[in-house]
Every structure is written in structure tokens, then in C-alpha cells.
Amino acid sequence: MFPKIEIESLPVTDSFVRRKRVIQPRGELALIEDGGNFRHLGYFSLKSGPGLFRGGHYHRKKTEHFYVVGGELLLRLVDVDTGEKAVLRAEPGQVIRLHPGCAHRFEAVRDAQVIEYYDGVYDREDDVAWQDF
């Protein structure tokens, strides 16, 4: 597995656990995080199509978390310390953790909706542009 990223599927269960998805005829409830300290919460959508993407950078300090609400994503990743590259897919119900030094670019295989969160406030100086995916 690529060392600077973690992708975890939340369990689908009616049991009491702190991170889960409950899928019922009336709709879905996702308990994405329970107990963490997060100071930034955002949402983005991404349409599928040639040349459409989000990201294209890495962070020196911040660990980012993403929850895929809908659609399907292709993640292009580069470990900026080693040059190692990976391409992974993410789908609804998965939590993605990107650690510092992991250049990332998201592309939608199917139009996607994503929640982004982390424990700091946005710092423009921690966004370092990256082109070589």
C-alpha cells in the first residue's frame, strides 16, 4: 500500500460504533468521525470529464481527511520524498487520510461529492503546487 494514504470503508451496521454507515429504506446516516477535534470542514463536488480535477498539490504539515458521499474518484498520488506514484479508486462510504508529503489529485470517474476535514485552519502557505502525476 502507498505509505502516505489510508483508505478505509466505514462498516455498514445498525450496531453502536463510533464510525459507521446505517443504510435504511428512509436513507443513509454516516457517522464519519466521533471524538476527533476538527477545525476545518468543507464540501466539494467534482464532475467527471477530461481535464476536470481537484487538488494538484501536497501539504508539508497538514493531514487531510475526506469522506466520499457519492460517485467514484480516481486518486493520483505521489510521495514527494521518494517519487513513488500510485493510482487508487475511492467510492461512497470510504474515508481517505492523506498525510503530509502526499501530492494528490482527485478525478471523478462518476460525478462525486466529498466532505473534507482536518484539525487546523486553512493555511495557503501549506498548499504546495505539484504537476507530475
- Report pLDDT digits (tens) over 12-67: 999 999 999 999 999 999 999 988 888 999 999 999 999 999 999 999 999 999 99
CATH fold, domain 5-9+37-129, is Jelly Rolls (2.60.120)
Domain residue limits, the chain: 5-9+37-129
Q: Considering only residues 127 and 37, tell me which one the structure prediction assigns the higher pLDDT.
A: 127
Q: How many other CB atoms are found less than 10 A from the CB of residue 90?
A: 23
Q: What percent of the chain is helix, strand and coil (3-state, nearest 5)? A: 0, 55, 40
> CA-to-CA distance for 25 and 45, rounded, in angstroms?
25
Q: Are 84 and 55 in contact (CB under 8 A)?
A: no
Give per-residue pLDDT as tens, 72-91. 999 999 999 999 999 999 99
Q: For residue 5, what pLDDT is reported? A: 93
> CA-to-CA distance for 27 and 21, rounded, in angstroms?
11
Q: Is 125 helix (H, G, I), strand (E, B) or coil?
A: helix
Go through the chain and tell me how many residues it has: 133
Check: pTM over 0.85? Answer yes or no.
Answer: yes
Q: For residue 122, what pLDDT is reported? A: 93
Q: For residue 39, what pLDDT is reported? A: 92
